Amino acid sequence: MSLAVIPLVYILPEKLDISFAGQIYEAKQWECYGCVMFGLWSGLIIGLTTEYYTSHTYAPTRNLAKSCFYGAAPNVINGLALGYMSCVIPIICLSVTVLFSFKWAAMYGVALAALGMLGCLPICLSVDGYGPISDNAGGIAEMAALHEHVRKATDALDAAGNTTAAVGKGFAIGSACLVALALFGAYITRIAEEQATEGKAMTAFNVNILEPYTFAGLLFGAMLPYAFTALTMKAVGDAAQNMIGEITTQIDEMKRLTKPKTDLQEGKKDVFDTDYALGKAHAYNLVKECAKEAGKVYPDTTKCVAIST
């Protein structure tokens, strides 16, 4: 992409005069190219950093996995610490990108940097769609009582899918930060233009956080992501709780109705207590046979689908 953008540089004028906050910024063609490159390569660094902190191949995730052996508390504490630490390098990249882009082309440069960072997003989102597929494949393999080696393969695919999902989010959040800054600059510029059309002096409009309305709005806006996150997490938690309750109820009912009536297994052992050494797949076939003997009692998947949707 670094090479593909070069022909687009010559579409721009040799010099751009960009007015912002009462100042004129002179931006050259290659300075605009530099803004795009800062966004593009910052996005790459953010993606690589995200992979380092989330992939099972590297030390952070492996050390976090080791903490699971010591209980939930160390796992939660170390996990939160790891998540917070993973923000350091991306924030440094965004800060450097904003400073250099603004120096070269004001808010227009910041917008170009956002476009550069968004350049790789289609590929990231395409790969991101691979995560849920591999995740569901692992769940289906386990529920279908397939051999353990199948689950090991799907676990590796699932881990890769989760990492790619995190990388895609890193690109999206980083570019959204740059776009938000550019939109804020456009907002200030438009207010200055409106003042000029109304016959007032076209002065730079400044946002002062010491003003009570501005500060109150800042606090309220900072609260909104937490509020929507809480609603989303609560919805997922409620759905998971209802799903587990429904599945537990159905399993208890199936256990009651599918007691084996024939010698399907040596010693007339309950099929639900089948030794796992015999293989989960074999146990699953026994469940089906018992279901036939007991009047074809199968799980009601419609209720589960209704809960999840």
- pLDDT tens digit sequence for 129-175: 777 787 788 888 888 888 888 888 888 888 888 888 888 888 888 88
Task: Let me know if residue 14 belongs to a domain.
Answer: yes
Q: What is the mean pLDDT of residues 77-84?
A: 94
What's the mean pLDDT in 187-215? 77
Q: Does 305 map to a domain?
A: no
Q: How many domains does the chain have?
A: 1
192 found inside a domain: yes
Within-domain flag for 189: yes
Q: What is the mean pLDDT of the chain?
A: 83
Higher-confidence position of 19 and 181: 181
Please give the full DSSP string across 112-133, using - where no structure is assigned.
Answer: HHHHHHHTTHHHHHHHHTHHHH
> Is residue 177 pLDDT above 80, yes or no?
yes
Q: Are strands 15-20 and 23-28 parallel, antiparallel or unpaired?
A: antiparallel
Crossing angle of helices 72-85 and 59-67, rounded to 10°: 160
Q: Say what the pLDDT of residue 284 is.
A: 55
Residue 78: is its pLDDT beyond 90? yes
Cα separations (Å) of 154 from 45, 80, 159?
28, 26, 8
Spatial contact of 76 and 25, defined as CB atoms under 8 Å apart: no
pTM over the 0.85 mark: no
Residue 59 lies inside a defined structural domain of this protein: yes
Range of the domain at 55: 1-206
Tell me the sheet residues that pair with 28. Answer: 15
Residue 286 belongs to some domain of the structure: no
Q: Which residues pair with 15 in a beta bridge?
A: 28
Q: Which two tokens stand for residue 166?
A: 């995190």
The count of residues in the chain is 309
* Residue showing tokens 């395409």: 126
Q: Is residue 53 part of a domain?
A: yes
23: DSSP letter: E
